[in-house]
Amino acid sequence: MDAAEFRRRGREMVDFVADYLENIEQRPVYPDLEPGYLRSLIPTEAPLEPENYEDIIKDVERVIMPGVTHWHSPYFFAYFPAASSYPAMLADMLCGAIGCIGFSWAASPACTELETVMLDWLGKMLQLPEHFIAGTHGHGGGVIQGTASEATLMSLLAARCKAIRRVHASIPENSEADILSKLVAYTSEQVSTKKQFPITLMYCSNFTHISDLINAHSSVERAALIGGVMMRKVPTDNSYAVRGDMLKKIVEEDKAAGLIPFYFCATLGTTPSCAFDHITELGPLCNEENMWMHIDAAYAGSAFICPEFRPLLNGVEFADSFNFNPHKWLLVNFDCSAMWVKKRADIIGAFKMEPLYLKHENQESGRHWQIPLGRRFRSLKMWFVFRLYGLKGLQAHIRKQVDLAKEFESLVRADKRFEICAEVIMGLVCFRLKGSNELNQNLLKRITESREIHLVPCQLSGRFVLRFAICARSTESRHIQQAWRHITQLTFEFFFSPCASAIFCG
């Protein structure tokens, strides 16, 4: 394909994209097919000769779209939002064209330098403490990671390195391997792949996936596995948040047993219920105990650009690293996860980088504080989005979505058959029918099979709970009202169905 044809096909694709997003409401939000559907729809091998572009575009509708879960449908309320905006998409086109691989400053200076400044812009929007902002000639700085998982891993590896060095320096007889075997990392019990509901016979095999997400956000567990350290879960309070005394208790137990607590991943906005660990208590405790505190605010972090939510970030001044995902809730298309560290030297030391990398410290974007060597020019997306929305536009987006969540919460509260399961602070509502877990599993099954709206569940205090997350940028009040009508209709139908009798009587 040459440039002339690209100009033509590019215009067609722009229209395809706009058409898709403008009409996405008409599509069933969740696919109706069995695993393995796609293989039978396309050849088993690549073609020998080039094919026609029109045939490929036809196949987008025939092969791809039936299998797409439409994350940007205003009827998609599952997981957490995946951010998307037209400015970000435009920036991504430019990023693809420039197509540089920014593994070093020289590989494309603009790539490295724009990232540094964009992380400063973003850090200032969140009113991060000055020591995180690179531009103030401090010791800290920011970097764009691909995902929160990579940020968590990097922070844990830096913490591991720091802890081993510290302990080894004070007790040289202990080998590194010995110290490693005693290190313990901690995180909230809300972060877990293990607290899952047994897959009951009520679910067909398609729905095993749901357990992928029940209380899952296993990035911290993966990081501990990779880092070769033990991990322990800290119990949470009635609001599903970690308090200082709970962490203190478990840390004291482990120290008494000869272990070395070295890392705590605090979560601001847990996946199940968007709970907030009490970092004003946890921060000082971690500092006293020489424990690295990493804050994972993957979803909630975007809201801290609003003054009314910023107090939830108080305590970040105690953190060694902080991460959130603009690609969840700040209109920047995936991938774009922002991570800041208090001391660049900690991360760089973890990789024993050559001293020359430290030479240009004030221009360093932290690009070495990551797993991959290569990276795209992702900061272009931030630059376009931040300038085309302005801080006010970004705040308006957050506030609108929080309002929609509150609207849904009101609908739930007004219906005495239902209950709200956790405080609604941001854009997530956890709710359920008053009654058994089986009842709620059945309701969710019907919701999923109807394919009009899409939700996923979680587990809170042993109860099966439905999560309603405001996701698509185009979600409006009418979608909330329609979703609730749909849920209550299904509930009504269910109470008069044979299944219901079985549940209530047997």
Distances from the Cα of 154 to the Cαs of 145, 151, 158, 269, 392, in angstroms? 10, 5, 6, 20, 32
Q: Is 199 in the site for a second copy (CB under 8 A)?
A: yes
Q: Is 11 in the site for a second copy (CB under 8 A)?
A: yes
338 pairs with which residues across the strands?
144, 324
Element (H, E) at 487: helix 477-495
Does residue 218 belong to the site contacting a second copy (CB under 8 A)? yes
Q: Is 193 in the site for a second copy (CB under 8 A)?
A: yes
Length of the chain: 506
Which residue from 196, 287, 290, 437 is in contact with a second copy, where contact means CB under 8 A? 196
Question: What is the DSSP track for 288-329?
Answer: HTT-EEEEE-TTGGGGGGSTTTGGGGTTGGG-SEEEE-HHHH
Out of 127, 200, 314, 362, which residue is the one contacting a second copy (CB under 8 A)?
362
Task: Check residue 202 for interaction with a second copy (CB under 8 A).
Answer: no
Cβ nearer to a second copy, comparing 126 with 503: 126
Shortest Å distance, C-beta 296 to a second copy: 12
With contacts defined by CB under 8 A, name the span among 205-213, 254-262, 458-466, 493-501 that binds a second copy: 205-213
227 binds a second copy per the rule CB under 8 A: yes
Check residue 124 for interaction with a second copy (CB under 8 A): yes
Burial of 290 (0-12, 13-18, 19+ CB in 10 A): middle
Nearest CA-CA partner of 297 in 281, 285, 309: 309
**In this structure, which amino acid lies at residue 255?**
K
Check if the beta carbon of residue 73 is closer than 8 Å to that of residue 29. Answer: yes
Taking phi over 0 as left and psi of -120 to 50 as alpha, with beta for the rest, 458 belongs to: beta
Regarding 47 and contact with a second copy (CB under 8 A), the answer is yes
Please report whether residue 157 would count as binding a second copy according to CB under 8 A: yes
Identify residues 429-468 at the interface with a second copy (CB under 8 A): none
417, 423, 424, 430: CA torsion to nearest 10: -50
**Is residue 210 at the binding interface for a second copy, with CB under 8 A as the rule?**
yes
Min CB(209)–a second copy separation in Å: 4
C-beta of 108 vs 412, nearer to a second copy: 108
Pick the binder of a second copy from 79, 132, 186, 318 (CB under 8 A). 79
Kindly indicate which of the ranges 217-225, 283-291, 417-425, 483-491 contains the residues binding a second copy, using the contact rule CB under 8 A. 217-225
Exactly one of 29, 75, 85, 233 binds a second copy (CB under 8 A); that residue is 85
Segment interacting with a second copy, rule: CB under 8 A, options 262-270, 346-354, 431-439, 476-484: 346-354
Decide if residue 180 touches a second copy (CB under 8 A). yes
Contacts of 502 (CB under 8 A, 6+ apart): none
Segment interacting with a second copy, rule: CB under 8 A, options 29-37, 339-347, 435-443, 495-503 = 29-37
> Which of 348, 322, 349 is CA-nearest to residue 337?
322
Piece of 199-207, 252-260, 311-319, 485-493 that binds a second copy (CB under 8 A): 199-207
Site size for a second copy (CB under 8 A): 150
Q: Closest CB to a second copy among 171 and 502? A: 171
- State yes or no: residue 125 binds a second copy (CB under 8 A): yes
Which CA distances in Å does 133 have to 120, 127, 221, 401, 489?
6, 10, 29, 29, 51
Q: Which of 74, 87, 140, 269 binds a second copy (CB under 8 A)?
A: 87
7 is a site residue for a second copy (CB under 8 A): yes
Exposure letters 432-457 (e unless 16+ CB within 10 A, then b): bbebebebbbbbbbbbbebebbbbbb
Do you find a cis peptide bond into 335, omega within 30 degrees of 0? yes
Q: Taking each helix axis from N to C terminus, what angle separates 477-495 and 498-505, rounded to the nearest 10 degrees?
A: 70
Helix (H) or strand (E) holding 293: strand 292-296
Instruction: Please pick, from the candidates 270, 321, 333, 440, the single residue that binds a second copy as defined by CB under 8 A.
Output: 333
CA quadruple 282, 283, 287, 293: dihedral, nearest 10:
90
Contact between 82 and 334 under an 8 Å Cβ cutoff? The reply is yes
DSSP 268: B
107 binds a second copy (CB under 8 A): yes
235 binds a second copy (CB under 8 A): no
The answer to whether the beta carbons of residues 438 and 290 sit under 8 Å apart is no
Task: Give the distance from CA 400 to its chain's centroid.
Answer: 20
Cβ 506 to a second copy shortest distance, Å: 27
Residue closer to a second copy by CB (options 362, 489) is 362
**Shortest Cβ 128–a second copy spacing (Å):** 13
Q: Which is nearer to a second copy, 79 or 240 (CB)?
A: 79
Is the Cβ–Cβ distance between 66 and 315 less than 8 Å?
Answer: no
Q: Rule CB under 8 A: say whether 497 interacts with a second copy.
A: no
* Residue 219 binding a second copy, by CB under 8 A: yes
Distance CA 452, CA 15 (A): 25
Nearer to a second copy, 237 or 354 (CB): 354
Q: Report residue 322: phi and psi, to 5°.
A: -145, 135
Q: Which of 28, 86, 138, 189 binds a second copy (CB under 8 A)?
A: 86
CB 268 within 8 A of CB 303: no
Residue range at the interface with a second copy (CB under 8 A); choices 219-227, 254-262, 407-415, 488-496:
219-227
Lay out the site mask for a second copy across 130-149 (x = CB under 8 A, - = otherwise). -----x----------xxxx
Of 25, 28, 98, 165, the one binding a second copy (CB under 8 A) is 98
Looking at the Cβ atoms of 80 and 264, the one nearer to a second copy is 80
